[in-house]
A and B are shown apart, each in its own frame.
Chain A
Amino acid sequence: MKKLLNKTLRTFAVYSLIVLAASVPAYYYLVDGIWLSELDENNEIIAGRTEIGLNRLNLSDTMLAESIILWNKIQPGTSLRKASAITAYPDSTYTVLRQNPYATHKDIDRFRGLVRLIHINNTPYYLTVETNVEETEETVAAIAIVTLLFFLILVMGFLLLNRRLSARLWKPFRGTLSKLKTFNLNNQMPIVFDKSDTLEFEELNRALSKLLDHNISVYKTQKEFTENASHELQTPLAIIKNKLDVLLQKETVTDRQYQIIEEINRALTRITRINKNLLLLAKIENHQFDSSELTRFDTLLLQCMDGLQEHVKEKNINIGTDIQPGVEVKGNSGLTEVLINNFLINAIRHSPPGDAIVVKLSNSVFEVANPGKQELHPDALFTRFSRLSANNSGSGLGLSIVGEICRVHNWKAAYSFENNRHIFSVAF
């Protein structure tokens, strides 16, 4: 992942590179054009001065011819030759590349020349003036180097500005983000964002606040609904239960009717159980339990095992224990008891008669293992109403309560399947 500003930086860098690269030929043509027109002007002046100068000397024809020979020998960059009437043509300018005849180096130089028809003593002559011009590649190279330099300065400037801008401009955004990261719907604590003078961030904060407030209120309503619904159900359930009790006392009840009442009773017990568990879940989620007390886990475990003893005996189940004494955990004792009971009852319920359950407790982990034929689906285990066995009489909430208890205590509930044994564990 790249930072947002770095992404824009790249685009800006590429764009400035293109613009600067395009400026290189533009600058070249500009500089070269100025060069040439200046030199043409310069050549014109020299040619003009030469014509006037030579005419002022009032030389005789022979002296002139000698002088021209001399001139051609010593005047660099200029030459005079006689023009014939036939070859007479108007002034012209040209650019030529050739080696400098006097230079020791072998480089090719560029010259700007002017051929001009002048009249000395009324005889037409061609005067050629040549001046050295900077070569094309040298001009281009120089411009390119300067451009590159500016490009580097630009990019460095971008980087520097970027760093400073991202620190300053994005500060409110980072603040918002870090606050959002700490948000937990379970705590239902609304976030107060810092005020920002940036329109977009302020808008973002306002939208987020609205969203969070809405979420919190929906979450609250949902939880309150569960709690209220469970409460409201208690009374009608009580009425049904009590009416059945009254019905059972009637002398005219037949055996079959008694069986039906019993079946209703059993279903009613299940609804009651589900209702109570939903209420318990809602209460745990609402943090209505103090989880800061110190609880003797081993004592509770032994108590729970004692309470279930008759059911263990009834199924002829053998419980093997490895319980370390003096295990103390930080957690609500009532909830811890619920957790232990849920684990033990699950193990007893799902073990075939005559089999063995193993209960282990150490300072760091509590573990209950019971025999099984195939692995259960680990993802669905701790979710509500995800029954994994054909045995349908449970409330379907036992393990999700365990999961929720672990969540409020920061414990970790886990399941594994080894050597044909289901192993449920809680790590403190």
Chain B
Amino acid sequence: MKILIIEDEEELAKSIAEYLSEESYLCEFAANYDQALDKIELYHYDCILLDIMLPDGNGINLLKAMKKLDKQDGVIIISAKNALEDKITGLQIGADDYLTKPFHLSELAARIYSVIRRKQFSNANIVIQNELQINLPAKTVSVNDSVIALTRKEFDLLIYFIGNKNRVISKSTLAEHLSGDFADMLDNHDFVYAHVKNLKKKLNEAGCDNYLKTVYGTGYKWEG
């Protein structure tokens, strides 16, 4: 899987690459508009991470250029601006997702995972890990061919873990993912534990192996 990171902030690009490279991702960098355009024209990427505030041009224009070239690469916009109009414009022009800085890398990894899966043909849209089968478009999960009923949050959580296989995800990161803007306003993060516990219980009861491990007391790691 090839990822293009278009980001002028070197440290940020390096961290993203380091986190993603442990998975089967191959990361390339572009620090400005021209570099990015050159790479997009020459190569195909599974996913492009696009900072829309570039030193020599608006990232939105890059999106427009991609559309002109009829490129089908998945695009996730990364922006320091949380402006709704930017979000809407970006998504209208052809971005697949929009992430506001600062974000957790696990959040980014989960989004990349979803975007790449969505772009692929339907048969690849089914994630299989031994006895566990996840149908992404239908949002159904089955263990040993029997469907288990998960709530929206539990399904979301499962995809998040799958998108961050073998990565440690801390409780506070999960809390942020699950409750978005409210995470820090409600100091109690126990609801994370409740969701994870329910998901684990449902999977185990259906006969699924215990892939979700607890690490460092309150962190989690999906092994596979």
Contact = CB atoms under 8 A, between A and B. Distances in A.
Interface of A: 231, 234-235, 237-243, 245-246, 248-249, 253, 255, 258-259, 261-262, 265-266, 268-270, 272-273, 276, 279, 307-308, 310-311, 314-315, 334, 341, 345, 348-349, 391, 393-395, 398
A402 to B, nearest CB: 13
Nearest to B190: A314
Interface in B182-201: 182-188, 190-191, 194-195
Nearest to A230: B80
Interface string B1-31: 0000000010110011011001000000000
Listed residue (B101, B167, B181, B215) with the most chain A CB atoms within 10 angstroms of its CB:
B101
Interface of B: 9, 11-12, 15-16, 18-19, 22, 80-82, 84, 100-106, 153, 167-168, 170-173, 176, 179, 181-188, 190-191, 194-195, 215-219
23 contacts: A237-B102, A238-B12, A239-B15, A240-B102, A242-B102, A245-B15, A245-B19, A245-B105, A248-B168, A255-B217, A258-B217, A258-B219, A262-B218, A268-B102, A269-B183, A272-B102, A273-B185, A279-B82, A310-B195, A311-B182, A311-B188, A348-B186, A349-B187
Nearest to B180: A307
Contacts, number: 125
Contacts of B187: 349, 391, 393
Contact of A314 (B80, B194, B219): B194
Given A241-B103, A246-B105, A265-B172, 11 more contacts: A234-B80, A242-B104, A245-B15, A253-B216, A273-B185, A314-B190, A314-B194, A334-B84, A341-B181, A391-B187, A395-B184
A238 B172 contact: no
Contact of A349 (B172, B181, B185): B185
Given A311-B182, A314-B190, A241 B104 contact: yes
B15 A270 contact: no
A238 B182 contact: no
A29 B128 CA distance: 128
A249 B166 CA distance: 9
Nearest to A254: B216
Contacts of B11: 239, 243
Nearest to B102: A238
A59 to B, nearest CB: 133
Contacts of A315: 188
Nearest to A392: B187
Contacts of A308: 182
Nearest to B18: A246
Q: Which 7 pairs from chain A and chain B are nearest by CB?
A: A238-B102, A258-B216, A242-B15, A234-B80, A245-B105, A238-B101, A237-B102
A229 B190 CA distance: 33
